[in-house]
Amino acid sequence: MGRLGELDLPDRLAPWVPRWATSVAVGLLATACAALVRFLLDTLVPGAAVFPLLFPAAMIATLFARWLAGATASTVSILFGWYYLYPVKNSFHFETSAQAVTVGSVIIAAAITVALAEMFRRSVHRATQERDRQIAERELFLEEFDHRVKNNFTLVAALLDMQRRRAGEGETADALTSALARVESIARAHRHLYRGAATPGTVDMASYLHELCTALADALFLRGAITIECGSDHAAIPRDRAVSIGLVVNELVTNAAKHAFKGREGGTISVRFAAHPPGWRLIVADNGMGMSAETRATGRPGGLGQRLIDGFVRQARGTMLVESGSDGTVVTVDLAA
């Protein structure tokens, strides 16, 4: 019923048809539908139910096209039934005072029906306007919040980049580069939170991962001999989980770019994200030199990258399997639904 109250045909058609004309037309259409049903009933039970069908016709006409439509449907239906059906056919005369009271009662009941339907329609219309106003205010607030968060991410990234440049070469610069990449990965997920997702509060993984891989290729200077291939199904993943997945990809691709191709002129790193019942599967693979058994067990010296990967996988509610050999390394992360 709320949906009916929101549908205002006179307003919808106002650019082309006067509002009063739309209301009258809807009222006549409702009357015609009621008359058709009345005709079908009359073939089964002649002379029965002269007036009852006018009430739903008047109510529906009012909800769709305002009180004038309901008044039109009521007036035409009552006059038609009064003249042609009750009490004396082809006449407005009454044989008894009771018949006059009956018709009078029908008129009063029809007026009350139209009035109540119009009150309901107006209350729904006011509620809809208030809802739209609140939605507009919320969207404005979210835009302002989004703008401030973007500025904060940009500021943090700029500070990290400035410190990295001052650090020159060495472990400090590498650590700052990794931190910068992680911040940018989170910022990228935040940007995708407000576009392209089918469900509010989610991130479309296909566009997110493609943009992330492109940014990693630029940041790691992989244009040329070492390339990143990215493929992903479209999946709406909650924001926090998408951030964790993006950080896993960030760490795995960065590790592969730094360590998998030592002594080699080129190679390929591939990132795949796809549905894998009952959830999803992320695969990051390279065709590099592979990892030693000790590295697979304990991680690379320092161990921070591996600890971060393990933590991000847990945050994403996933389990990780690492397979490595002379033909490269494949990291598979299975994610629960």
Look at residues 83, 111, 133 and tell me which one is the last residue of a structural domain.
133
Q: What is the pLDDT of residues 98-110, one digit of tens each?
A: 888 888 888 899 9
Q: Is the pLDDT of residue 33 over 80?
A: yes
Q: Is the pLDDT of residue 254 over 60?
A: yes
Q: What is the pLDDT of residues 226-249, one digit of tens each?
A: 888 999 998 888 888 888 898 899
User: Do 187 and 150 form a contact (C-beta atoms < 8 A)?
Assistant: yes
Look at residues 133, 149, 166 and tell me which one is the last residue of a structural domain.
133
* Residue 151 included in any domain: no
* Residue 179 included in any domain: no
Residue 203: give its domain's CATH number. Answer: 3.30.565.10
30, burial (CB in 10 Å: exposed 0-12, middle 13-18, buried 19+): buried
d(CA 230, CA 226): 13
* Residue 182 included in any domain: no
Is there a single domain that holds both residue 239 and residue 330?
yes
Is there a single domain that holds both residue 311 and residue 204?
yes
Q: Is the pLDDT of residue 293 over 70?
A: no
Containing structural domain, residue 14:
2-133
Is there a single domain that holds both residue 226 and residue 105?
no
* Residue 47 included in any domain: yes
Q: Which residue is it, tokens 């407000």?
A: 194
Please tell me the predicted confidence (pLDDT) of residue 256.
87
Look at residues 115, 133, 151 and tell me which one is the last residue of a structural domain.
133
Mean per-residue pLDDT for 68-80? 89
* Residue 274 included in any domain: yes
Predicted TM-score of the model (pTM): 0.55
Q: What is the pLDDT of residues 170-210, one digit of tens each?
A: 778 777 877 777 777 777 766 666 555 556 678 888 988 99
pLDDT-derived band at 2 (thresholds 50, 70, 90) equals very low
Instruction: Using the Cα atoms of residue 87, residue 93, residue 96 and residue 100 in order, give the sign of their dihedral.
Output: positive
Q: How many domains does the chain have?
A: 2
* Residue 173 included in any domain: no
